[in-house]
Structure 1
Amino acid sequence: MAKNWVAGRRGPGRGPRGGAAVVVLALLAALAGCAAPAAGGGDGSRPVVLTTFSVLADLVGRVGGDRVEVVSITKPGAEIHGYEPTPSDLVRIHEADLVLDNGLGLERWFERFVRGLDVPHAVLSEGIEPVDIALGAYEGRPNPHAWMSPVQARTYVDNAERALAELSPDDAAYFAARADRVRGELRGLEERVREGLRANPGAALVSCEGAFSYLARDLGLREHFLWPVNSDAEGTPRQIREQIAFVKEHRVPAVYCESTVSADAQERVAAETGARLLGPLYVDSLSGPDGPVPDFITLLNHDLDLILEGLDHAP
């Protein structure tokens, strides 16, 4: 199988902390002097494509099909913003044939983690016009959650197709056909939700984390949230007061929280305003094979269904 490695950009980031950092950096130094592993990692029959979290793994797997082995560093249900890599993660990265991450500043723990390793790397959000975070510790930095919009997710598919075709040119037509199917599914999702929003132009989407900025921009929603990024302070009294005021002022019928964080603060908002608390919404992680969102398309369908359900009760 022919290979043509993919070069990606790496920005500044923060690495693992504490004792884990010492172990990881020591292992990094040891592995850097080793011979490169045999192509394919795993069992050697297919190239191994490593992604940073489960949502990306499923999206890439939909394009790669049975021609690649796609794995995620983090497990379903994990909080990815503050993830701390382990020495075994470093070994997996070193043995991969291709590493794909989200970019847009999401995996600050990851960028330093792979620095110095000779691993082919591509960024799936490359080419997306970022929405900047408007407040908090990361004000002015790109909001990383572009995959939550079916419009922007098509760029992820484009980048995955390109990276896989460069990894295995002989399979380019196979990847292109599968990518076309995924892009078609995403267009169908976009059309469905646009139709559902026609009766409620400018409706508000009120969440715990500000993870829906791209969805709001692309579909004409107003967005309000308790905190901009999960690693920020979560559910402070001020955040709760401001959310309550917004919900009351705009008579928002439903509010939401995400699966990887506590809904306690949003429960207070619902109790004070009379809004329904729906959810959870899934953003940073799939649920696992037996859960409600075992794959990326189901995740988007699940979240968009809940958003439209909330609008059904608009005054």
Structure 2
Amino acid sequence: MKRKRKAFMAVALSILVIAGCSARGGNDPASSQVDSAKSAGAAQSTETVAKPDKLKIQTSFYPMYEFTRQVAGELADVELLVPGGVEPHDWEPTPQDIQKIEESDVLVYNGAGMEGWVDQVKSAIGSGKLVTVEASQGLDLIEGTEEEHGDEHDHDHDHDHATGDHRHESGDEHAHDHGGLDPHVWLAPSLAAQEVRNIETALAKAAPDHKDKFKQNADAYISKLNQLDQEFKEGLAKANRKDFITQHAAFGYLAKQYGLTQVPIAGLSPDQEPSAEQMTEVIKFAKEHKVKTIFFETLVSSKVADAIASEIGAKTAVLNPIEGLTEEDEANKRDYLALMRINLESLQAALNE
């Protein structure tokens, strides 16, 4: 599957290069065809083109879209590249997506290895007018192989998956190219606030005349994130237990911020299958610590969490990594703040059973 994605990216980038040659006036037939396609596409989309005074922004996946939308306000047309309901770890841009990025003013992505495609796309597009922002730039990132707990809570388990290690004994290639780093910084509100500030800086660079408005918008949203952070601190401070089991290691930053211990069944990738040994270790840990809830996530199968819950007589519940909105989320108009508060309620329930 990974080789297929790489092949697809190669084709997509080749198309982008051909399109670039066409724009420079190449005379080969392929260039002419791409040029004609671009002209036809431009004619069809005349009515939907952004207003000249607005920034055109592409964002990688939902949290980046939401944070950027909050900062930009009415001063930009913000688009989401990864469609709703799609797991962003597995997504790759189509030639049409790459062309949209090339034609935009700003590209916002999380970084820390979350978007494995972004370096190739940036390299192919070159250093034209596009302003890019890696929202996690400058944050204190967690190594995927290090302990991801926030205190020295006493645990007698020493298995690798409890540290967030995303390596597999089987040597499969589901781990994705995170570069050893945990990219899920948006799940800690205080770190999400830093990402918002990085986005503000980038938008001010792209449209300096509006920097004051961008700062005003960012300040207002960061105030909401600070309130959310305070709710998590107060809501989790007196929890009866400090450890929780989750299907994959997406909640290291959240755990670190609030003095919790994440015990992931598998590693950083949501489609990573745990080994039989890992399953046995988690089941042993759950029984010894009388865990009554096994968390799984939206957008991926819950079969691993279901299997462990069945083995120990526990229930399952959702802890949302907020990598994309489901149809239910959209129908109920749930945004990042609402979903994080649902996560808080879920954690409080599980940690106080």
Q: TM-score range by the shorter chain?
A: 0.7 to 0.9
Aligned equivalent of 1:240 = 279
Contact 1:100 1:123 (C-alpha < 8 Å) held by counterparts: yes
Q: Which of 327, 330, 335 is the matching residue for 1:290?
A: 330
Q: Which of 69, 76, 84 is the matching residue for 2:77?
A: 69
Aligned equivalent of 2:170 = none
User: What SS does the aligned partner of 1:108 have?
Assistant: coil
Contact 1:149 1:218 (C-alpha < 8 Å) held by counterparts: yes
Q: Partners of 1:126 and 1:202 in 2: how far apart?
A: 33
Contact 2:240 2:352 (C-alpha < 8 Å) held by counterparts: no
Which one has a bigger Cα radius of gyration?
Answer: 2
Contact 1:254 1:277 (C-alpha < 8 Å) held by counterparts: yes
Contact 1:55 1:295 (C-alpha < 8 Å) held by counterparts: no
Q: Partners of 1:249 and 1:182 in 2: how far apart?
A: 42
Q: Partners of 1:166 and 1:109 in 2: how far apart?
A: 24
Shift of 1:60: 0.8
User: 1:33-56 CA distances to partner (integer Å, 9 max, x unpaired)?
Assistant: 326x99xx9323411111111221
Contact 2:318 2:346 (C-alpha < 8 Å) held by counterparts: yes
Change (3 A) 1:170 1:297: same
Q: Which runs of 4+ in 1 moved over 6 A?
A: none
Shift of 1:229: 2.1
Q: Partners of 2:195 and 2:204 in 1: how far apart?
A: 14
Q: Which of 266, 269, 283 is the matching residue for 1:230?
A: 269
Shift of 1:61: 0.2
Of residues 268-277 and 143-152 in structure 1, the stretch that sits farther from structure 2 once superposed is 268-277
Q: Which of 321, 332, 341 is the matching residue for 1:301?
A: 341
Q: Partners of 2:212 and 2:4 in 1: how far apart?
A: 38
Aligned equivalent of 1:81 = 89
Contact 1:202 1:222 (C-alpha < 8 Å) held by counterparts: no
Contact 2:64 2:110 (C-alpha < 8 Å) held by counterparts: yes
Q: Partners of 1:125 and 1:291 in 2: how far apart?
A: 29
**2:311 maps to 1:267:** no
User: TM-score, with normalisation over the residues of structure 1?
Assistant: 0.86
Contact 2:189 2:226 (C-alpha < 8 Å) held by counterparts: yes
Q: Partners of 2:271 and 2:303 in 1: how far apart?
A: 16
Aligned equivalent of 1:136 = 166
Contact 1:252 1:275 (C-alpha < 8 Å) held by counterparts: yes
User: What SS does the aligned partner of 1:44 have?
Assistant: coil
Q: Which of 25, 41, 53 is the matching residue for 2:61?
A: 53
**2:16 maps to 1:28:** yes
**2:166 maps to 1:126:** no
Q: Which of 225, 236, 247 is the matching residue for 1:197?
A: 236
- How many pairs does the alignment contain? 296
User: What SS does the aligned partner of 1:299 have?
Assistant: helix
Contact 2:108 2:133 (C-alpha < 8 Å) held by counterparts: yes
Q: Partners of 1:146 and 1:121 in 2: how far apart?
A: 18
Residue ranges of structure 2 left out of the alignment (5+ in a row): 25-37, 43-47, 146-164, 168-174
**Greater helix percent: which structure?**
2
Aligned equivalent of 1:163 = 202
User: What SS does the aligned partner of 1:281 have?
Assistant: coil
Contact 2:239 2:352 (C-alpha < 8 Å) held by counterparts: no
Aligned equivalent of 2:297 = 258
Change (3 A) 1:164 1:113: same
Contact 2:166 2:269 (C-alpha < 8 Å) held by counterparts: no
Change (3 A) 1:243 1:189: same
Change (3 A) 1:292 1:55: farther
User: What SS does the aligned partner of 1:74 have?
Assistant: coil
Shift of 1:276: 2.4
User: TM-score, with normalisation over the residues of structure 2?
Assistant: 0.77
Q: Which of 42, 55, 65 is the matching residue for 2:49?
A: 42
Identity %: 27
Q: Name the amino acid aligned to 2:12.
A: V
Aligned equivalent of 2:219 = 180
Residue ranges of structure 1 left out of the alignment (5+ in a row): 1-13
The CA RMSD over aligned residues, in Å, is: 2.4
Q: Partners of 1:108 and 1:156 in 2: how far apart?
A: 19
Of residues 168-177 and 247-256 in structure 1, the stretch that sits farther from structure 2 once superposed is 247-256
